Amino acid sequence: MEAKWLVPEITCDHCVDKIERFVGELEGVKRIEVDVGTKQVCVEFEPPASPEAIGEAILDAGYTLG
């Protein structure tokens, strides 16, 4: 499965690293792409990861969803 989130507060490589770290800790996450230009987080995952858990991890990293 693959899903995308818009995270308007992404501004720099620090944001990319932080989101990658928090989302990457979830079991079942296969791939994370954070694009500073489009402010999109694209995640490829399988259970037990879920869109809800990934959204939650982005919030835990200190960002809000657009």
What H or E segment, with its residue span, contains residue 14? helix 13-24
**For Cu ion, how many residues bind (rule: CB under 5 A)?**
4
Q: Per residue, what are the HEC states of 27-45? A: CCEEEEEEECCCCEEEEEE
Q: Tell me which residue has tokens 């858990």.
A: 53
> Would you give the binding string for Cu ion spanning residues 6-45, x where CB under 5 A is met?
-----xx-xx------------------------------
Cβ at position 46, least distance to Cu ion in Å? 28
Binding stretches for Cu ion (CB under 5 A): 11-12, 14-15
